[in-house]
């Protein structure tokens, strides 16, 4: 009994550990890298899962359309029982049976439809490919959103670090002025000025910390996973960025690549084909529909001496709509208009994509130039701050010089972080614009 109880307890513990591990795996990692965030998003984001289901749905529609090209086989049966008062007498005291039953198997196949079934299948195939391309485009858009949210969160992290460094410097400067005032070589004005500078440095730090929380929350929302139990955005740490470099592709080549590789272009081409196929289907509805059919049946003999009657029949059936009151003409106009609309949307998409490529190209050039200049400024600002502090300690400079130098360093650090953020974002924007896969998967 004790052994059995011990076994049950062990199984419960193992199950609890397994459930905990499964729940943990379905949460945002506490140490989150960019590539990991992308893969988690592709797996868990509800939006991409929804559009993938559209692909499954259209696959079912295509299967249904192909079914029109194959034979159809159906079976039917019936059994009836009649009240004696409803049975007629045929003389000589002969009355039919009070029960009747029958069973049959029917086979039919369309042998001529004027091409409507063929174009219907081709149209559904084009729609399936269009949705497939739409899935690719949605995945790339989603990955771009992940990168942008990750870069925003990274930038918020950098701003927090810069503001914390500034607060630390102001705290150290305040302590220096207090020590000098206590030693009788400083002024009360310098202490008060340092206190004001420290107080003014704290609100930007608070804003930066809250911006970081909001950025992490936005990234978590895109990924589609909850935080681990008892953890919020403050518990998530981001991995460092690898560092993007500007692409050396020329603008004309980038536009040509986009026209060839963007999944939206492919989707539009298939959408136009599907609309044209639908127009062909509607036009061919005026053609006759010819089916070949066969039947084999068996039924009871109510009025004869045999137990049952059975046999087969076969033939050709034609259905030809000679006049429909203008219904087909109206369908043709609708289908033709949908084809024209698809072509116009494709033309508009081409202009949009070219504009996106140009914008990404300009953004990349701008970010690269600003990032290069910011690297030089950082070193100069740090050197200026150190010189100002040394001058102040030696009694040759003022505290205002120290505070101003620190503000200039903070501004340069923030500018460099922003420039690197823009460089990373512009690089991904260029990939998305020309149709290059954002990540290999």
Using pLDDT thresholds of 50, 70 and 90, give the confidence band for residue 350.
very high
Residue 372 clears pLDDT 90, i.e. is over it? no
Q: What does the pLDDT read at residue 80? A: 86
Contact 424, 438 (CB under 8 A): no
Tokens at 430, concatenated = 């260029």
- What's the mean pLDDT in 252-261? 95
pLDDT of 343: 95
Length in residues, the chain: 441
The pLDDT of residue 116 is 92
What one-character DSSP code corresponds to residue 397?
S
Greater model confidence, 187 or 295: 295
Structure token digits, residue 195:
């206190």
Question: Encoding tokens for residue 356?
Answer: 């996106």
pLDDT at 142: 94
Q: Decide: 294 and 245 in contact? Cβ < 8 Å.
A: no
Q: What is the pLDDT of residue 202?
A: 93
Instruction: Determine contact, residues 190/181, Cβ cutoff 8 Å.
Output: yes
The tens digit of pLDDT for each residue in 377-404 reads 888 888 888 898 888 888 788 878 888 8
So what's the pLDDT on residue 303?
65
Query: Binning pLDDT at 50, 70 and 90, where does residue 94 land?
Result: low
| DSSP secondary structure, 195-219, as one string | HHHHHHHHHHHHHHHHHHHHHHHHH
pLDDT at position 332: 94
Instruction: Give the pLDDT of residue 120.
Output: 94
Model confidence band, residue 346 (pLDDT cutoffs 50, 70, 90): very high
Token pair for residue 272?
């136009």
pLDDT of residue 4: 44
- Nearest 5°: the CA angle 25, 27, 31 is 90
Lowest mean pLDDT among 3-7, 141-145, 183-187: 3-7
Local confidence band at 286 (pLDDT 50, 70, 90 cut-offs): confident
Residue for token pair 């289901």: 53
- pLDDT exceeds 60 at position 9: no
- The pLDDT-based confidence of 95 (bands split at 50, 70, 90) is low
| Rounded distance between C-alpha atoms, residue 270 and residue 238, angstroms | 41
H/E element, 429: helix 399-434
Check if the beta carbon of residue 393 is closer than 8 Å to that of residue 138: no
Binned at pLDDT 50, 70 and 90, residue 100 comes out as confident
Round the average pLDDT of the chain to a whole number and report it: 87
Give the Cα separation of 78 and 298 in Å (integer). 11
Give how far Cα 281 sits from Cα of 109, 263, 270, 274, 328, Å: 19, 27, 16, 10, 11
Query: Phi-psi category of 92—alpha, beta or left, where left has phi over 0 and alpha has psi -120 to 50?
Result: left
Place of tokens 């003014």: 200
16 confidence band (pLDDT: 50, 70, 90): very low
Where residue 304 falls among pLDDT bands split at 50, 70, 90? low
Q: Which pLDDT score, from 0 to 100, does residue 7 have? A: 46
Residue 91, Ramachandran bin (φ over 0: left; ψ between -120 and 50: alpha; else beta): left
Any residues with CB less than 8 A from the CB of 277 and at least 6 apart, and which? 119, 120, 122, 123, 126
Local confidence band at 269 (pLDDT 50, 70, 90 cut-offs): very high
pLDDT reported for residue 223: 94
Residue 98 confidence (pLDDT): 74
Give the residue from 243, 273, 261, 213 showing the smallest Cα distance to 368: 243
Q: How many CB atoms lie within 10 A of CB 87?
A: 13
Q: Is the per-residue pLDDT at 23 higher than 80?
A: no
pLDDT band of 19, cuts 50, 70, 90:
very low
pLDDT score at 88: 64
Neighbour-count burial of 149, counting CB atoms closer than 10 A to its CB (0-12 exposed, 13-18 middle, 19+ buried): buried
126-150: pLDDT as tens digits: 999 999 999 999 999 999 999 999 9
Q: List residues bridging with 289 in a β-sheet.
A: 319
> What is the sign, positive or negative, of the torsion defined by CA atoms of 424, 429, 430, 435?
positive
Alpha carbon distance 335, 46 (integer Å)? 33
- Domains, the chain, with CATH or none: 31-70+114-287+327-434 (1.20.1600.10)
Provide the token pair at 271: 């959408």
Distance set, CA 101 to CA 74, 79, 320, 405, 436 (Å): 17, 4, 34, 103, 67
Whether 359 has a pLDDT exceeding 50, the answer reads: yes
pTM score of the predicted model: 0.79
pLDDT bucket at 18, cuts 50 / 70 / 90: very low
Instruction: Check pLDDT > 60 for residue 290.
Output: yes
29 CA to centre of own chain = 20
Helix (H) or strand (E) holding 119: helix 116-182
pLDDT at 8 over 80: no
């Amino acid at each position: 009994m004790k052994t059995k109880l011990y076994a049950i307890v062990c199984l419960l513990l193992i199950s609890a550990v397994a459930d905990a591990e499964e729940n943990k795996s379905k949460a945002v990692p506490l140490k989150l890298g960019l590539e990991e965030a992308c893969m988690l998003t592709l797996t868990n984001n509800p939006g991409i899962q929804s559009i993938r289901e559209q692909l499954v749905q259209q696959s079912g529609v295509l299967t249904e359309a192909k079914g029109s090209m194959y034979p159809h086989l159906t079976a039917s049966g019936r059994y009836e029982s009649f009240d004696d008062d409803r049975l007629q007498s045929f003389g000589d005291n002969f009355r039919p049976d009070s029960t009747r039953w029958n069973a049959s198997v029917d086979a039919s196949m369309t042998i001529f439809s004027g091409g409507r079934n063929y174009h219907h299948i081709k149209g559904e195939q084009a729609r399936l490919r269009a949705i497939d391309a739409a899935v690719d485009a949605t995945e790339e858009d989603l990955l771009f959103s992940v990168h942008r949210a990750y870069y925003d969160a990274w930038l918020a992290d950098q701003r927090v670090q810069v503001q914390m460094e500034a607060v630390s410097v102001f705290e150290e400067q305040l302590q220096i002025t207090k020590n000098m005032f206590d030693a009788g070589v400083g002024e009360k004005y310098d202490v008060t000025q340092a206190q004001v500078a420290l107080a003014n440095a704290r609100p930007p730090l608070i804003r930066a910390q809250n911006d970081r929380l909001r950025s992490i929350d936005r990234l978590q929302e895109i990924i589609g996973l909850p935080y681990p139990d008892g953890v919020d955005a403050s518990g998530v740490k981001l991995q460092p960025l690898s560092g993007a470099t500007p692409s050396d592709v020329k603008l004309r080549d980038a536009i040509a690549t986009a026209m060839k590789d963007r999944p939206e272009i492919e989707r539009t081409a298939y959408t136009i084909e599907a609309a044209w196929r639908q127009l062909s289907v509607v036009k061919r509805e005026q053609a006759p529909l010819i089916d070949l059919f066969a039947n084999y049946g068996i039924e009871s003999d109510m009025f004869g001496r045999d137990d049952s009657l059975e046999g087969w029949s076969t033939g050709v059936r034609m259905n030809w709509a000679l006049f429909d009151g203008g219904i087909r003409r109206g369908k043709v106009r609708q289908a033709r208009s949908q084809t024209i609309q698809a072509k116009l949307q494709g033309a508009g998409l081409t202009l949009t994509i070219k504009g996106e490529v140009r914008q990404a190209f300009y953004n990349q050039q701008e970010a690269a130039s600003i990032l290069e200049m910011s690297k030089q400024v950082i070193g100069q600002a740090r050197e200026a701050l150190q010189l100002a502090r040394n001058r102040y300690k030696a009694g040759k400079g003022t505290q205002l010089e120290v505070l101003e130098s620190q503000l200039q360093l903070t501004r340069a650090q923030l500018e460099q972080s922003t420039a690197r953020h823009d460089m990373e974002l512009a690089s991904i924007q260029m990939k998305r614009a020309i149709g290059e896969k954002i990540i290999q998967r």
